[in-house]
Amino acid sequence: MSKKKQTKKQALTPKQKKFADEYIKTGNATEAYRRAYSAKNMSSTTINSEAAKTLRKPLVKDYIDELNKKLNSEKTMDEKEIYETLSSIARGEKQPNGQIPKVKDQLKAMDEILKRFMLTNLDKAQIKKAQADAIKSETEAKLAQQQIDDHDTASGVVVDALRDMPKEEIVKLARKVGNERNENNTKSKASG
């Protein structure tokens, strides 16, 4: 296939472009079809059917989607524009509609700006509390780790000491500990 034929297939015809442009304006495929094509001698059913077919054509659909994206980006305020408009109202400047904002509208605009830019005392207190809680948790974790390390060190010292003791001394110590446990168990059963 030659490049000319490929390019021709990929471009909208003038009538398809007119149809898409009219569809964007009216939001009505049937009306857009009437404005773009010769439809005087066609029945309403045929016009509706042809309009629906044209609307489903990939090139037409893509073109309409692209136009909608462009229109939406032009119509939709970005963050900067919102802040500029709020600031203009807060300052009491004359608006595009020719009106000067009332004091209550100025105060509302100022409040909206403050909500976005400044922290209230409550927000600051909550942030401080969260920071304090984080420091406390970190300190508790360090303390717990230190206790584990100390326990491991103490256990190591005891194990080392037991290794150095003669077996007879270890047996005596074990008997003494066992006797003390038995006495404690007997006392707790008698009192319970």
Tell me the pLDDT tens digit for each residue of 4-59.
Answer: 444 445 789 999 999 999 998 888 999 999 999 988 889 989 998 999 999 999 99
What percent of the residues of the chain are helix, what percent strand, and what percent coil, each to the nearest 5? Answer: 80, 0, 20
Instruction: Specify the pTM.
Output: 0.38
CA distance 141 to 129: 18
- Residue 13 φ/ψ, nearest 5 degrees: -75, 160
User: Of 109, 112, 80, whose CA–CA distance to 92 is shortest?
Assistant: 109
Per residue in 66-104, pLDDT (tens digit) is 888 887 776 677 778 888 888 889 889 998 889 999 888
- Residue 57 φ/ψ, nearest 5 degrees: -65, 130
In this structure, are residues 45 and 4 in contact, taking their beta carbons and an 8 Å threshold? no
pLDDT for 147 beyond 90 = no
| Share above pLDDT 70 across residues of the chain, in percent, rounded to a whole number | 90
Counting other chains too, the contacts that 172-175 makes at CB distance below 8 Å and 24 or more residues apart are none
For the segment 159-175, the average pLDDT, to the nearest whole number, is 80
The confidence score (pLDDT) of residue 136 equals 86
